[in-house]
Amino acid sequence: APRRRWEQEYERWCAETEALAEAASDTARRVAPGRAMRDGNKMAYDRAAGRVQASVAGRVRNARERLRRLQADPVPRPPEPLRFTARPVRAEADGLLATLDDVRVGDRLRVDSLRLEAGDRLLVTGANGAGKSTLLRVLAGETDPDAGTVTRRGRIAHLPQEVPVGRPADRLFTAYARGLPGTPDEQREALLSTGLFRQRDLHVAVGSLSDGQRRRLALARLLAGPADLLLLDEPTNHLALALVEQLEEALAQWTGALVVVSHDRTLRDRFAGRRCEIRDGRLLDAR
C-alpha cells in the first residue's frame, strides 16, 4: 500500500508538471485577440489586444509559478520493485533425510512417526499454537525432544517464523555475511543477486530494519548455501505480494525436500505434495 501511494503521487506530479509546462507554452503564444482588425476600429482593437495580452501574461506567470513550485519540490521516482531472483541450491544427499519416532516435546508436540526423504514435499497446517513451529525446530535440531528418537542427515536450512533481530548496531551486509564463506565482494554479489535488497540497503543498521527487511535478510542467509531439506515457517510473512509470488515460484521449482508451515491461502492452494495437520500438539498422519 505505501508503494502504491508513492507511485500514485509520482504519477500525479508528472501529469501536473507536464500539463503546466504545456499550458504556459501554449498560453504564451496567444498574445492577440485572434481576429482581424476592422477598418476604422484601431483604437478598440488595440484596447482589446492590450486586455488579452495582460490576461495572457497573468496566466503565463501563474502557470510558471506553479510549475516552479512543483519542480522545486519534486516527488522522487519510485525505484523498480524488488524481484526475487534467487533459487535454492540443492545439496547431494539422497534417500532418508530425517525421521521422528515417538517424539514428545512437553505437551506442545507429539509425533508417533514421520519420515522425510530426498524430494519429499510436506505442508503442515494447524491452528496457532498447535505445535507447528516446534516440529520444525525439532527437525532442524534446535529443540531437543523430551522423549523419542530423531535422526537427521544431509544439510538442513531453517527459516523460523520469528526472525532474531541480531546485533542492532550491525549493518545489514555485516549481518548477512557473518559466518558465510567467501570474500566480502563475493558475499555482496551473492546478496544482491537474490533480488531481495538494493545496494543502498546494505549499510542500513539491523536495528532499524522493518519486519519485512528482517524477513528478507533471513531468507537471503537461508539461500546462501546448498541444502537437502528446507524448513520454512510462514515464509511469506511480511513480504510484498510480488515477492511472495516469486518465492512461491522458486519453491515450486525446488527439487530438494521441503517442509512448509503456512497460513497463506494461495501457497496452500497451489502446494503440490503431502499435507498433514497438527491438532492439539499431535501430528496426524501425513497424506
Pairing of strands 147-152, 282-283: unpaired
The stretches of the chain forming alpha helices (DSSP H) are: 2-28, 42-72, 132-140, 172-177, 184-193, 211-222, 241-253, 265-270
Q: Based on the domain organization, do 66 and 107 belong to the same domain?
A: no
Are residue 68 and residue 100 in the same domain, yes or no? Answer: no
**In the chain, how many domains are there?**
2
Q: Of 12 and 30, which is predicted with more confidence?
A: 12
- pLDDT above 80 for 32: no
Residue 13 cell numbers, joined: 506530479
For a pLDDT cut of 70, what percent of the chain falls above it? 82
Domain that holds residue 13: 2-72
What pLDDT score does 52 carry?
A: 58
- Asked whether the predicted pLDDT for residue 79 surpasses 70, the reply is no
Tell me, yes or no, whether 35 and 127 share the same domain: no
Which residues sit opposite 275 in a β-bridge? 123
| 140 and 51 both lie in a single domain | no
The reply to whether 141 falls in a domain is yes
